[in-house]
Amino acid sequence: MTAYTPPKVWTWDAESGGKFASINRPVAGATHDKDLPVGKHPLQLHSLATPNGVKVTVMLEELLDAGHDAEYDAWLINIQEGDQFGSGFVGINPNSKIPALLDRSSDTRVFESGNILLYLADKFGAFLPSDTKGRTETLNWLFWLQGSAPYLGGGFGHFYAYAPEPMEYPINRFAMEAKRQLDVLDRQLADHAFIAGADYTIADMAIAPWYGALVRGDIYGEAATFLNAGSYSHVNRWVDAVYDRPAFQRGKMVNRAWGEESEQLRERHAASDFETQTWDKIKPADE
C-alpha cells in the first residue's frame, strides 16, 4: 500500500469519501431554497429511517402506545438527494443532519437525535425517571450512545462497508472499538433488564437502533459475523425484548425508503397509515 503524506494545507476532493461522497462537503448552510411541508399535528418530524432517525420515531410511537397526545407528521428527508441542504431544513437544523423536529405548539426547533428524545421525554413526562438518580443513570447511557455511535457508524461501519477500498489499519482500529462497546453493553445488561435498570427508557430507544441492528445483521453487510456479535448473549437478549415491542416495530418503518416495500412508510401522518400507506400500496405504477 502506498504511504500517504498529508499536504500542508488540506483541500477538498469531491470525488473522495466512498459511498456518501456526493452528500458530504466541508461547509455548512443551504444549497437551495426549499420550504418544508407542514401537516396538521403540532409535532413535525423531518427524518430518514437511519439508526438516528429510528430513535425518534420509536419514541413517538411509544408515547402514543402509552396514551400520550403525541400525534405527529413525519416527512421524508432523502439525504442521497440532498434534501437536508434545503433552506427549510437548514432553518430547523443548521447542521443539516437528520432527524430534526419542529414543535409548532411552542415554535421550538429541536435537533440532534438524543436531544429530541430528551425533549419529548420532558414534554410528556415519560420514559425518563423523575428521580435524580434514575434520571441521571438514564442520561449516562443516552450520552454514552451519542458519543459511541460515531465510532460504530462513521468509524467501523464506514471503513468496513463503505470506504472505496478495504484498509486493514482503520478496520482493525474501529472493530476493536466496536467490540469494546458491545462488551460495555453486555456487562451492563448482565444485571439489568434494560440499559438503565429495570425499566424501558429513552436510553434503550437510543441504543437499540444502532447496536440492535448490528447484532441482528441489518447493517454493514457481514459485520455481525465479523464482530462475532452472537457471542454477546445479554445484548442479544435485550435486543430481542426491545425489537418485539409493537411501537419499535412501527417506528422502524417510518421514513424508510429501502428494503421490503411493505415495511416502508415513507411519510406518516396518522396511525392508520401503517395499514394503508406503505410503499407497496401507494407507489406509482412506473416505479
**For 158, which DSSP code?**
I
Looking at residue 23, its pLDDT comes to 79
Cell digits of residue 71: 400525534
Looking at residue 49, its pLDDT comes to 98
Residue 11 φ/ψ, nearest 5 degrees = -130, 150
- Decide: 238 and 210 in contact? Cβ < 8 Å: no
**Cα Rg for the chain, rounded, in angstroms?**
19
Q: What mean pLDDT is reported for the chain?
A: 96
Cα(23)–Cα(14) distance, integer angstroms: 9
> What is the number of residues in the chain?
287
Given strand 43-47, what is the order of strands in its sheet? 72-76, 43-47, 100-103, 108-111
- Decide: 185 and 211 in contact? Cβ < 8 Å: yes
pLDDT tops 90 at residue 56: yes
Q: Is 15 exposed, middle or buried (0-12, 13-18, 19+ CB in 10 A)?
A: exposed
Which residue did the predictor score with more confidence, 173 or 25? 173
Q: 0.85 cut: is pTM over it?
A: yes
What contacts 70, CB < 8 A, 6 or more positions away? Answer: 43, 60, 63, 64, 120, 124
- Decide: 76 and 44 in contact? Cβ < 8 Å: no
Q: What is the mean pLDDT of residues 129-157?
A: 97
Domains (range + CATH), the chain: 132-250 (1.20.1050.10)
Give 106-115's long-range contacts (Cβ < 8 A, gap of 24+): 112/146, 113/52, 113/53, 113/55, 113/56, 113/146, 113/206, 114/55, 114/142, 114/143, 114/145, 114/146, 114/206
Looking at residue 285, its pLDDT comes to 85
pLDDT tops 70 at residue 18: no
Confidence band of 2 (pLDDT split at 50, 70, 90): confident
Confidence band of 36 (pLDDT split at 50, 70, 90): very high
Cell digits of residue 21: 461522497
Q: What is the mean pLDDT of residues 104-131?
A: 98
